[in-house]
Amino acid sequence: MTEVAPQARPRRMPAKDRLAKRYRAEKRFRLLGLSSVLLAAMILLLLLATIISNGIGAFRQHYVAIDVYFDAAKIAPDGNRSVAALQQASYRSVIMAALRDRFDNTKTRKQRRAVKGLLTANAAYELRDMVVANPNLLGVTERVWLKMSDDLDMFAKGYISRQTPEGERQVSDQQIAWFDALREDGAIESRFNFDFFTSGDSREPEEAGIFGALVGSLLTLGVTLLLAFPVGVMAAVYLEEFAPRNRWTDLIEVNINNLAAVPSIVFGLLGLAIFLNFFGLPRSAPLVGGMVLALMTLPTIIIAGRSALKAVPPSIREAALGMGASPLQTITHHVLPLAMPGILTGTIIGMAQALGETAPLLMIGMVAFIVDIPGAVTDPATVLPVQIFLWADSPERAFVEKTSAAIMVLLGFLILMNLIAVILRRRFERRW
């Protein structure tokens, strides 16, 4: 038999070179990870900078000083100064008379329409509230600071350039000339826009605020918390501590994990079919919105609750049972208090997620235009994400500013809620 020549073994790289190669690979991996983090941070900073630059102007509002003569012949021609009569009086003619007295070239209809566009469309209501609060203004000339219209306000903030041709901007050359004259006389001021936080929605951008949406969000989240927290905690305690390990509990666990990944709009469809069409609950109400968000938040609370309960050492249970405590006493007196920080953290994160939801609330009618501030969970209302959605769909340039400002407020609430979750976890977390 012929002998087979042994194959030559491949020469192995020296240990020193192999070690250097591994170090180079590790260095490349670290650089890639650092680059990914820096890229994500840059994109986030760019997003935040864009939102802040677009929305910071919404916290300022320009006002115009006009000398208004509260003509009693126009406001109360019959001498009736009751509250009802003063509320029904016409104040638009009073404003137009004041504007005509301030500016001479207001003879044609186009000029009168242009001078009327200097002030907000709700200026007449501001005068009405002043007269109702103080009827002694009748027959008196008073300097009144009124809100500037949204187009002039955008021009004053620099969003509309005077170099743009007149046919391509919302502000006419005549209005710019009046604006310059008012500024020279010191009749224009920029003030902090408190109405943005204290007013409800409006068709006029300069009058629109987020207070109604904030109240609606608080009412909706209140209903969500009242429904989701006790049910979620009890379900987590039962599944983790008392439920037998069989196919049914495995099926329940799988379904809970799957529900946590279901698109939120599916919960909106469920609320539309069950809560509105079947039970006949009121549309666009925080009650229904809270119930829908509670269904969406339940899986998050249950999963977080089970993880917190599982983190409690078995020795706690064994010690309590050894001292004669019943299983229920062991859970309620010892295990649950120790797991509560983790449960609260999961609950806050779930509530923060519910605060930013829009799709399920659109399905139950919370997209309606709501001006009044809701006073109960059954009143028509909207929430902050839906308010942002409505403003983003508006064509006025001023609503772009309002949209970005509302996003800043929403981000502030989300950051605050997550910060509270982090503080609770660090404050009450125990190392075993």
Superfamily of domain 211-428: MetI-like (1.10.3720.10)
Nearest partner of 336 among 354, 316, 358, 364, judged by Cα: 316
* 237 within 8 A of 331, measured Cβ to Cβ: yes
Distance, in Å, from the CA atom of 417 to the CA atom of 255, rounded to the nearest integer, reads 28
What is the residue-level pLDDT of the chain in tens, covering all 432 positions? 455 555 555 566 677 777 888 888 889 999 999 999 999 999 999 999 999 998 899 999 999 999 989 888 888 888 788 888 888 888 888 888 888 888 877 778 888 888 888 888 888 888 888 988 888 888 888 899 999 998 899 999 988 888 888 888 888 888 888 898 889 988 999 999 999 999 988 888 889 999 999 999 999 999 999 999 999 999 999 998 888 888 888 888 888 888 888 888 899 899 989 999 888 888 889 999 999 999 999 999 999 999 999 988 888 888 888 888 888 889 988 898 889 888 988 898 889 889 888 889 888 888 878 888 898 999 999 999 999 998 988 888 889 899 999 999 999 988 888 888 888 777 776 666
Distance, in Å, from the CA atom of 366 to the CA atom of 268, rounded to the nearest integer, reads 11
Buried b (16+ CB within 10 A) or exposed e, 227-238: bbbebbbebbbe
User: What count of Cα atoms within 13 Å lies in the side-chain half-sphere of residue 254?
Assistant: 6
Distance, in Å, from the CA atom of 205 to the CA atom of 64, rounded to the nearest integer, reads 16
* 268 within 8 A of 359, measured Cβ to Cβ: yes
The full set of domain ranges for the chain reads 59-192, 211-428
| DSSP 3-state of 200 | coil
Q: pTM of the full predicted structure?
A: 0.85
CA 131 to chain centre: 35
What is the CB neighbour count within 10 angstroms for residue 109? 8
Distance, in Å, from the CA atom of 106 to the CA atom of 162, rounded to the nearest integer, reads 22
Bridge partners (DSSP) of residue 147 are 63
| DSSP 3-state of 62 | strand
Largest CA distance in the chain: 134
Nearest partner of 170 among 186, 191, 155, judged by Cα: 155
| DSSP 3-state of 61 | strand
Burial environment of residue 291 by CB neighbours within 10 A (0 to 12, 13 to 18, 19 or more): buried
